[in-house]
Amino acid sequence: MLRAVRVDDAADFMAMWQDESFAQDAGIEASTDLQVLADSLARFELLNTSGLFYKWTVRLRNSEVFVGEIEAYPLKPQTSPWIEWGVGYSLSRSFWGQGLMREALQSVLNHLFSTNLAQRVRADVGPSNERSKHLLKRLGFRLEGLQEAKNFIHGESVDMQLWALSRQRFLTALSKGFKSSI
């Protein structure tokens, strides 16, 4: 289940992101300051209401236990309509391999494409993040190339892969139940 992010989610995010190897796979720096994280989530709360950025927590349906986060944002917010959107996500290690992020990402993509908010969705992925690449492939994304020096982590530039999915390819895959590899 998806729920809009709130400031009081900071401890859940901190627990997920403070693992250095997890952060490296996610292409971020590990979080070390709970107040800075809470302040960041407060800004995301405001952005969620503006329609310029959507950030949700991913939670188990029956217990509402925090398992991860997912976000969607227009890549050129100064133009309208927003044809191209970006997505990002992370899932706590203990919930990997259960299909939870696939379900969450499919829900977000369905919203973006079925409401005609997006014609195309992109995701940046660390080259060694095999699980994320597998997830994107299963949902119909295609690898478009390598983005050199896309991020900075601990002062070092980091390359990221660019994956993308068109509205047409998503709707075709959806009609087939995502059974085939597109």
The model's pLDDT over 83-121, given as tens digits with 9 standing for 90+, comes to: 899 999 999 989 999 999 999 999 999 999 988 889 999
Classify domain 2-175 at the CATH superfamily level. Gcn5-related N-acetyltransferase (GNAT) (3.40.630.30)
With bands split at pLDDT 50, 70 and 90, how would you rate the model's confidence at 182? very low
Alpha carbons 12 and 6: distance in angstroms, whole number: 11
- Coil vs helix vs strand at 142: strand
pLDDT at residue number 24: 67
Alpha carbons 126 and 166: distance in angstroms, whole number: 21
Nearest CA among 90, 102, 72, 68 for reference residue 21 = 90
Cβ neighbours around 23 below 10 Å, total = 18
- pTM for this model (two decimals): 0.86
Cβ neighbours around 175 below 10 Å, total = 8
Indicate whether 35 pLDDT > 60. Answer: yes
Q: What is the DSSP letter of 9?
A: G
Within 13 Å, how many C-alpha atoms sit on residue 149's CB side? 3
